[in-house]
Amino acid sequence: MTTMTETSARFREFKMPDVGEGLTEAEILKWFVQPGDTVTDGQVVCEVETAKAAVELPIPFEGVVHELRFPEGTTVDVGQVIIAIDVAPGSGDAPAPAAAAPAQEPAAEPEAEAEPKGRTPVLVGYGVAESSTKRRPRKGASAAPEAAAVAAAVQAELNGHAAPAAPAAPAAAVPAQGGRPLAKPPVRKLAKDLGIDLATVVPTGKDGIITREDVHAAAAPAAAPAAAPAPAPAAVAPAVAEAPAVVSDSARETRIPVKGVRKAIAQAMVGSAFTAPHVTEFITVDVTRTMKLVAELKEDKDMAGVRVNPLLVIAKALLVAIKRNPEVNAAWDEANQEIVQKHYVNLGIAAATPRGLIVPNIKDAHDKTLPQLAAALGELVTTARDGKTSPAAMAGGTVTITNVGVFGVDTGTPILNSGESAILAVGAIKLQPWVHKGKVKPRQVTTLALSFDHRLVDGELGSKVLADVAAILEQPKRLITWA
């Protein structure tokens, strides 16, 4: 199925594509066009944020914008129509876009039956599979309290608190059942204008759909605080993320909707932590010689134009350690009950960005020379900080490095990136007293931590990898003798 359909000979619709394999939804961050604007084939019409990255979407045909189906800030399922284009302007009066038109969209989706099955490439990403345009079935209300209780217990355990008491009536009032609250676009806009978080609204419509009356009912307590002074702050607080100006001085909590990159991080970390049995080992190492090598490389003409730092040498050290211990570079295939040995290294680098933590990777890092690795690292970091990392750049990683030392932290117990076998945490490099050649001297010292999947990596193998990395950083000449 493609992401565009012909509603008539004159109007064409563009659907939200799957801009990364397997994604189910995306948030519209910004529209670059408005109704009445002329667009050309390949012109970028909006920017969306998926669970992996921010992506600009080009339109695959030309014409005049007839209608924008969703406002900025709306999360849209893959396969939903987001914009309608008049491809034959001037051929007659175009019907004005009705305000309720988006509300009819779910009912209009069965037109997909006439289109071919499968996934068809579009300008960005892929068209959605036939099944992805169908609304997910909603479970009955009876499952909500149990799901909420389990989620609350797990979260409390992660936070280090005792498990909370099972929720009673308030839990049943929460409409979200592990998914996005059901509401038509006009109702979502009304809720946004009134500063109401749809996750707190009790639905009364058919199949759990939130109606305009439900939103007005949820807004009533906020409009009349005298009638219910205590619940008012709780009703307003969840809307803080969308309408910060509504926050009162008495508010003690802020509720931020979990979506986009943060939602992906949460799902990946929980999935990894409770699927792969983690083991973390530590080693403290004298990296004085590595720091001297870094200083020398900065003056090397062959490294001109690329960024040279300790992370570059650490990355190269890890690649050499993997070459010496190739069994560590593997993945667990649960479905086929197989261990998949990787004969390539896609080296992930954990990067903190304004949108959250992402882990892009350097493809075939094992084949790169030191200058090539330095250039790839520099490009990766720059792209990540600019928010331009593509979903493809974050797919297919095999092992990862996370540099917590930039925050002054000595070490940590990193969680594996989902589907990978190991992750190396690098601590802060500090001047410390160290026994060197029989005497206590100030030396540059750091602590490394290696977490690995114990299904794939035994303690002996994990220890060898970590020891090899440390040995190279202590004596960088091993980059030559062990390569």
SS3 5: strand
- Active-site residues, by number, are 454
Furthest-apart CA atoms within the chain: distance in Å: 92
Residues 6+ apart with CB under 8 A from 439: none
Query: How far is residue 248's CA from residue 231's CA, in Å, rounded to a whole number?
Result: 14
Burial 65-104 (b: 16+ CB within 10 A, else e): bbbbbbeeebbbbbbbbbbbbbbeeeeeebeeeeeebbee
The neighbour count for residue 273, using CB atoms within 10 Å, is: 14
The neighbour count for residue 426, using CB atoms within 10 Å, is: 27
Structure tokens at 196: 């109401």
Side chain identity at residue 337, one-letter code: Q
Whole-number Cα distances in Å, 99 to 94, 149, 194: 15, 39, 18
Structure tokens at 471: 């040995």
* Helix 310-324 with 288-298: angle, nearest 10 deg: 120
